[in-house]
Chain A
Amino acid sequence: MHLPEIDKYAHLKSIFHSWEPRAKLVSFLFLIITISLLHNLISACAGLVLAVVLVFLSGIPFRFVFKSLTWLFLFVLLFFVIMPLTVPGRILFKVGFITCSQEGFNIALLIALRAISIGLLVFPMIGTMEFHKTLKALSRLKIPNRLIQMIMFTYRYLFVFIEEYRRMTIATQARLFKRRTNLSTLRITGNLISMLFIRGFERTQCIYDAMVSRGYKGNLEIIDESKLCCKDFLKSSLIIMAALLLNFSKFVF
Chain B
Amino acid sequence: MREVIKITNLEYVYPDGTHALRGINLNILEGESVGLIGPNGAGKSTLLLHLNGILRQKGRVEIDGLNLEEGNLDKIRNKVGFVFQDPQNQLFMPTVFDDVAFGPINMKLAKERVKEVVYEALKEVDMLYSIKRVSHHLSFGEKKKISIATVLSMSPQILILDEPSANLDPAARRHLIDFLKRLSITKIIAGHDLELILELCERSILLDKGKVVADGNTQIILSDSLLMQEHNLEVPSCLKADFQKKIEERVSL
Contacts and interface: CB of A to CB of B under 8 A. Distances in A.
A215 B89 contact: no
Given A156-B92, A215-B107, A210 B84 contact: yes
Contact of A159 (B98, B105, B136): B136
Given A131-B94, A132-B94, A156-B92, A206 B84 contact: yes
B115 interface: yes
Contacts of B150: 214
B151 interface: yes
Nearest to A131: B94
B154 interface: yes
Interface in A197-227: 203, 206-207, 209-217, 221-223
B228 interface: no
B86 interface: yes
B54 A209 contact: yes
A212 B54 CA distance: 8
Contact of B77 (A131, A153, A215): A215
Contacts of B74: 215
B12 interface: no
Interface string A121-163: 0000000001110010000000000000000110111011000
A223 B115 contact: yes
Interface string A4-24: 000000000000000000000
B114 interface: yes
Contact of B105 (A135, A160, A223): A223
Contact of B52 (A135, A155, A213, A217): A213
A131 B98 CA distance: 13
Contacts of A157: 92
Contacts of A203: 88-89
B101 A152 contact: no
Interface residues of B, number: 34
A132 B84 contact: no
Contact of B90 (A155, A156, A210, A215): A210
B82 A132 contact: no
A223 B54 contact: no
Contact of B89 (A159, A206, A216): A206
Contact of A152 (B88, B94, B103): B94
B114 A214 contact: no
Q: Give the interface size class of chain A.
A: 20 to 34
A156 B136 contact: yes
Given A215-B103, A221-B105, A210 B134 contact: no
Chain A interface main SS type = helix
B49 interface: yes
A188 B200 CA distance: 46
B157 interface: no
A160 B95 contact: no
B111 interface: yes
Nearest to A7: B134
Interface string B69-88: 00000100110101010101
Contacts of B90: 210
B106 interface: yes
A250 B49 CA distance: 65
Given A203-B89, A214-B102, A209 B49 contact: yes
Interface string B101-130: 111011100010011000000000000000
Nearest to B73: A212
Nearest to A132: B94
Given A130-B134, A156-B136, A206-B86, A213 B77 contact: yes
Nearest to A217: B106
Contact of A222 (B86, B98, B107): B98
A147 to B, nearest CB: 15
A215 B78 contact: yes
Nearest to B99: A214
A214 B103 contact: yes
A216 B84 CA distance: 16
Interface of A: 130-132, 135, 152-153, 155-157, 159-160, 203, 206-207, 209-217, 221-223
6 contacts: A152-B93, A210-B82, A211-B92, A213-B80, A214-B102, A214-B106
Interface of B: 49, 52, 54, 74, 77-78, 80, 82, 84, 86, 88-90, 92-95, 97-98, 101-103, 105-107, 111, 114-115, 134-136, 150-151, 154
